[in-house]
Structures are given as C-alpha cells and as structure tokens.
Structure 1
Amino acid sequence: MSAVVVAGTDTGIGKTVFSAGLAMALGAHYWKPVQAGLEGETDSDAVARLSDRPVLAEAYRLALPASPHLAAARAGVEIDPARLALPRLAGPLVVEGAGGLMVPLTPRLLYLQVIAGWRAPVVLCARTALGTINHALLSLAALRAAGCRIAGVAFIGDEAADSRAAIAGLGGARDLGRLPRLAEVTPEALRAGFAGIDLAAIRGAMA
C-alpha cells in the first residue's frame, strides 16, 4: 500500500478540499482518523461528495468541534494510538490530519508524533494569506525534527508568488503548486483547480 498524509499549517485552511482533489486525482481511498465536530457535513462526508472515492470510517468520531484531546475528554474517551495505525489496502490512501501538526490527540500525544510513526510522505498544505511564511516554515521544521518525509508544500488560495518562493527556498521544500480559491466547490471545479498541482512529484514521493 502507498499512502500520503495531508497535513496543514493551521485549521480551516482548505486541506479537506485539497484531500478530496488528491484522492480523486490519485484514484485513492480517503481516511480521516479523528473527526472532531459532527454537526453538519463532516470532512469525510465532504470528501465522499467531492471525490466520489471510497472513504474509510473514522477511528474516532467526536461531537465537540475542538482540539481532539478536549473533544475526546468531553466524550469520556481517550484516543488510543493503536487504533490510528494505517489500514492495509491494495491501492493508494490519502490520510488527512486534524488542524495543525501540534494538535494534541491526548494530553501526552501530538498528531505530529502519530504522523511520524506512519512513515508516509507528507504534503503540507499552506494558505496563501498573511502569516503563511512563518506558519509554513515552523511546520516544515517540526516535520523534519520528527523525522518525517516531506513531499512538498501545496498552497491554497490566491496567488502569492513571493511567499511561495520564500517558503520553498528557506524551507528547502518542493513547491507542489497551488489550488486556487474556488468560486463554487464542486467536483468539476476541484478537478480543474488541481491542474496546477504537481501530481507527479506526489506520486514519486509515495513510490
């Protein structure tokens, strides 16, 4: 099985939409191990709708839209890392994290530690808004310190060529392209938007 992890520099930056586009482009299954917040359309629901790809059930579904360790505590459960092992599949798998890299899953376990244990390449999603250079460089440094393999950085939003160049140059990471802001988030618009993503580089990192 080949897997790729989609991580983000922050929450709410568009990595679920990116994950849907990547699953569609790779012909992959999708898995979000921990879902915090169940009201309305969940991330798994959105990916299923946008990508028409198989979606695996979450290991944990937590009602509170908060950091997973808080949502789990509110539900009276503690997240067991053993349940977060990558599932065995015949084909490719896109795995989406929750929030940023340093989000705690338990009071003693960061999501970054789980990602490092998966030993799969990581696509870091960064929005192109103000502050992205700082957030992206800190995230890249954290990934490297944890021993993660970095496939590159995928940018989401309006073009910010100077910021992209700074992140790729100072962070020593491949620029995987940009998913533009979509006026309407539909499968067709997402497929068109992914024309600017370096899928060959992502496939190469997964090999």
Structure 2
Amino acid sequence: MKQSIFITGIGTDVGKTVVSAIVTEALQADYWKPVQAGFAEGTDAERVRALVSNPFTVVHDELYRLHTPASPHIAARMDGIAIDERTILQQAAALQQAAGDRPLVIEGAGGLLVPFSDTLFVADLVRSLQARLVIVSRNYLGSINHSLLTAAWCRAQQLDVAGWIFNDDYLSYEAEIVGWSGYPSLGSIPKLSGFDRGLIAAEAAKLSGTLQAVIA
C-alpha cells in the first residue's frame, strides 16, 4: 500500500486544487479532499474529476461538506458539525486500502495552520496520516515570507516534506525559496489563463518523472 500524499499550500488560493489534479494525473493516483468549506460554485473534487483524464484515478467525495466559505472550524460550527480526526483517519485508511498500488492524493484546506476545530489543525492531520507533504507556493508579494514560515513549521514539526511545486510566474523566487528552505523543487507550473484536461495532462507529463522518483 502506497504512502498517502498530502497537498498543502502557503496560504489560500495558491493553486492547491490545480496542483492536486496534476499530481493525481501524473501518478494515476486517487484523490480525496476530506473537508470542503463552501461549495456554492462547486467542490474541489468536482473540479479535479473534470480535469483528470487517465482511466485509473478514482475521485472520492468529501467526508465533510460545509456550507460557509470560511475557515473550516467556523464553517463547521455554523453548520452544527464537529470535524473528527479519528473519522478522517479511518476514511483515509479505507480509501488508501481501496486504491491498492495507487497512492491517495489528499488535498488540505488553506495552509498548515488552518484549524478544523479548536484542537485540530491541518498540520496535525498530516502528522497523524503519516503522509508525504507537497507544498504549493505561488508568486505574490509576501510569498517568500509565507513559504519560509511554512517550511520552518514543517521542519520544527518534523513533517515528511517531499518538496515544493511552484505555481504562476516566479522571477527568481523559486531558486531562493528552495535554497533557503532546504526542500527541493518538484516542478513549476507556468501562469496559464485556464486549465482543461489537455493542459493538466501536459503539465503532469512534465512532472511525472520527478514525482515518480521522489514520491511514488
């Protein structure tokens, strides 16, 4: 049974779902996002399902669908739901068992210190899952600071980091973040106006060799 791969970001709206689709396509993995906060415009699982084209991937429905597009602990509170770590871990184990030789790509919510409850943060779940972590970084003013803070937290918590996937146009940020963080680059995704199955497949082909060597 393969080790699960957890996709996190340095913050919100940095391209985690697109990267999740690319990693899923590159590894012909299964995909799961345990907690979806806000789905008026569709869920991330629906988006990944529309973007992945290989015949092996299974995209699983969310365990928790929360109506409010907010921090999961707030959205859960407003929906009268308690997000339970044990339930997530049990479901993850069942999905990875079902995947067999395929890894399970798990997409997080926001960054590592996004709370699911008063006592459970994304980073806690990564540790409990014993998953390999892929960090998504996107170029914007402040992203170096956010990237290095994320890397420092990963190192302090001894999380199993596979490396970075960079998203958007990068100037010289990519090499500097890699050098300062000590975590390798797994690849870069250029700035694109939109994504479809063809573009996802093309980007997956570029990253496939590195991902297979480092993660699979």
Report the TM-score range of the alignment, normalised by the length of the smaller protein: over 0.9
1:119 aligned partner: 130
Which amino acid in the other structure matches residue 25 of structure 1? A
2:59 maps to which of 52, 55, 58: 55
With structure 1 as the length reference, what TM-score do the two structures score? 0.93
Structure 1 outlier segments of 4+, above 4 Å: none
Q: How many residues align?
A: 205
Q: Could you tell me which residue of structure 1 aligns to residue 118 of structure 2? A: 107
Q: How far 1:196 moved relative to its partner?
A: 4.3
Q: Map of 1:1-207 to 2, 5 A cutoff?
A: 1-2=1-2, 3-52=4-53, 53-85=57-89, 86=92, 87=95, 88=97, 89-90=99-100, 91-160=102-171, 162-197=172-207, 199-207=208-216
More strand per residue: 1
CA distance in 2, matches of 1:195, 1:201: 10
Identify the structure with bigger relative contact order (alpha carbons < 8 Å, sequence gap 6+).
2
Where in structure 2 are there 5+ consecutive unaligned residues?
A: none
CA–CA distance in 1 between the matches of 2:106 and 2:175? 27
Taking only aligned residues, the RMSD between alpha carbons, in angstroms, comes to 1.4
Structure 1: segments with no counterpart, 5+ residues: none
Query: CA contact under 8 A between 2:25 and 2:204: conserved in structure 1?
Result: no
Q: Percent identity?
A: 39
Letter in 2 for 1:51: V
1:195 shift after superposition:
4.6
After TM superposition, the score normalised by the length of structure 2 is 0.90
Matched residue type, 2:141: L
